[in-house]
Amino acid sequence: MVLDPWQQLTVRQWLRTAKDGSWAANTWAITVPRQNGKNGGLEVVELYLMVELGLKILHTSHLLTSARKAFKRLMHFFGRSVGDPGAAFPELNAMVVEIRKTNGQEAIYLSNGGCIELGARTSGAGRGSSFDVLVVDEAQEYEADEQEALEPTISASPSGDPVIIYMGTPPRDISERGAPFVGIRDAAVLGNSELTTWLEWSAPGDVDQMTEPELRALTRDRRAVADANPALGYRVLEKTVDGERSRMSPRSFARERLNMWPTPGARGVALNAEAWKARAIEDPDEEWPAAAWAVDMNPERTQVTIASAAFADEGRMHLELAADTAYSRDGTTALVEWLWARAGRRVPVVLDSFSPARDILEVPLKKKGMKVYVLSGSEFTQACAMLRRAVEAEKTITHFDQEQLNTSVEHAMSEPVKNFPGSFKWVRTDLEVSLAPLMAITFVFFGATKFGRRSDPEKKRKRHAVVA
C-alpha cells in the first residue's frame, strides 16, 4: 500500500511513542470529509498493530454494513480462509489461525496472538473480551451509553497500553448522538488533553454561527474546499464537489464537504470559573447538620462519590464532597451502613435515575426505611440550572475548595438538551477527568433545596469526609 502524504502524516502522528516505548497518546482521532480515504490510513495501522505487535483490536461501526466493508478490505490482505491458496499475500495468510464470517461477528485471529473483531456497536461486539485497541468508526453517531459499554473492553488491555481510535465527521446536532466525539475534539483543540492526537482537515469558521449568506460564499471558495479535502483532484473530483454544492443546502455542504465544526466550547462552561472560585470558604468553627446526601458512581462501578449539603448561615447552602474513593461490589453493605449512620430515616439520599449508584443502592436503602429520592431526566436538567443560578447569580452556595471537585467543575461543560429549548446538562470536556463530583453536588443541591429541613442552629453538624 502506498499512502497519500496526508495519510502518511496520520499514521506517523498516531504511532508516536514516548521514551519508555509506550504510546505518546492513548486517544487517536481523525476527522476528514467522506471519500477522502481515511480508512486507508486506518488499514495500515490495524495491519501493523496486528501483524507486527500482536495486539487485539475491536473495530466498531454505527452500521453493520460499514463493519462488513472493513472486514472485506482486511480479507484482501489475509485471504478468505486458513491456508487460502488464492491469497494475495501468502505470508499474511500463513499467520491466520481462524477467520470468522458470522454476520455481525466477523473476526480474524493470527498465530502471534494478534486479532481483530468487527461489528456494529448495537450488536454487542466484544462483550466479555479484553482488547488493546478500540476503533470507533462513524464516531459522529457514537453515544454515551455505547461509550460506557465499550470502553471497559480495553480497561484491562493485555498489552497494558490501551488506545481508542476515533474516526468521523461533525455530528448534525449537538445532542447525545456524537457527544463523546465532540467532547474529544473540544478537549484536543482547547488543549485540555495532553494524551490525544487529533488530526482534522476542515474549512475555517463555525457552521452554527455563520449566516446563510456567509455560508453560501464560503461553499464557493475553492481554497476552503481544498483545505478540507486533502484528496481533492484525484480521489475527490472537483465536478463531484460541484454537484454536491448544487444539491445540498449551504449548511449541509459545510458540514459534509467542508467538515466544519461548532467552535470548541460553544456549548458553554458548566459553571463560571471565577464565580465558583469566589464561593470557596475555609472550614468554619461552627458546624451545620446535613440537609441531604447524594451518591454517584462511574460507569465501571469502581469509584463512588458522595456529596452532602447543609444549610449554613445567612441563607446560604454549603456543598461538600464527603467521599470520592475506590469502590467494589463487596463494599455495598458498608456503603449502605455509612449512609444510614449519617442520614437515618429523615435526611434524604438523592440518586440519579441513570446513575449506576441507583442500581446498587436504591433497594437496600429503602429496605432500611431511608428517605431515597431518584431524580428524573427533567429534574436533572432543572438541577443543573438551579446550581448555576445559585453559583453565578444568587451567590447562595459555598464549598471547601476541594481539589477533586474543582477539577470536575473545571473540565465540565453545559450541553443543550435536544427538543427542550433552554435546558442543558453537564458533560465532560476530557474523558480522563471524572464528572461524578460535579454530578453529586448537583444532585444533593436539588435534594436539599426540595426536601431538606433546616435544623436547630444549636445542633452541630457531624463531618465525616473521606475524600481519597
What's the count of helices (H) and strands (E) in the chain, helices before strands? 16, 16
Question: If you classify domain 5-200 with CATH, what class do you get?
Answer: alpha beta
Residues pairing with 294 in the sheet = 307, 350
The domain spans of the chain are: 5-200, 203-266, 273-451
Pairing of strands 303-311, 317-326: antiparallel
Q: Is 167 helix (H, G, I), strand (E, B) or coil?
A: strand
Separation between Cα atoms, residue 85 and residue 281, nearest integer Å:
74
Q: Which residues, 6 or more positions from 182, have their beta carbon under 8 angstroms from its beta carbon?
A: 171, 174, 261, 262
Q: In the 8-state DSSP scheme, what is residue 161? A: -
pLDDT < 50 stretches in the chain? 457, 459-464
CA angle 195, 201, 204 (to 5 degrees): 105
pLDDT of residue 460: 47
Can 5-200 and 273-451 be said to share one CATH topology?
Answer: no
* pLDDT at residue 207, rounded to an integer: 73
pLDDT value at position 462? 46
Residue 102, class by beta-carbon neighbours within 10 Å (0-12 exposed, 13-18 middle, 19+ buried)? exposed
According to the model, what pLDDT value does residue 165 have? 97
How far is the C-alpha of 134 from the C-alpha of 165, rounded, in Å?
6
First-last CA distance in the chain: 51
Q: Which pLDDT belongs to residue 199?
A: 97
pTM of the model: 0.61
Contact in structure between 93 and 79 (CB atoms under 8 Å): yes
**Of residues 8, 22, 431, 30, the one with CA closest to residue 197:** 30
pLDDT reported for residue 178:
83
Q: For position 461, what pLDDT does the model report?
A: 47
- Closest by CA to 316, choosing from 340, 291, 338, 295, is 291
Which of 244, 276, 309, 272 is CA-nearest to residue 441? 309
Q: How far apart are CA 95 and CA 77, in angstroms?
A: 11
The C-alpha R_g of the chain, in whole angstroms, comes to: 25
pLDDT of residue 433: 84
Could you report the per-residue pLDDT of 62-109, keeping only the tens digit for each?
988 899 999 999 999 999 999 999 999 999 999 999 999 988 789 999
Give me the CATH topology for the region 273-451: Nucleotidyltransferase; domain 5 (3.30.420)
CA angle 403, 404, 408 (to 5 degrees): 115
Backbone angles phi, psi at 27, to 5 degrees: -130, 120
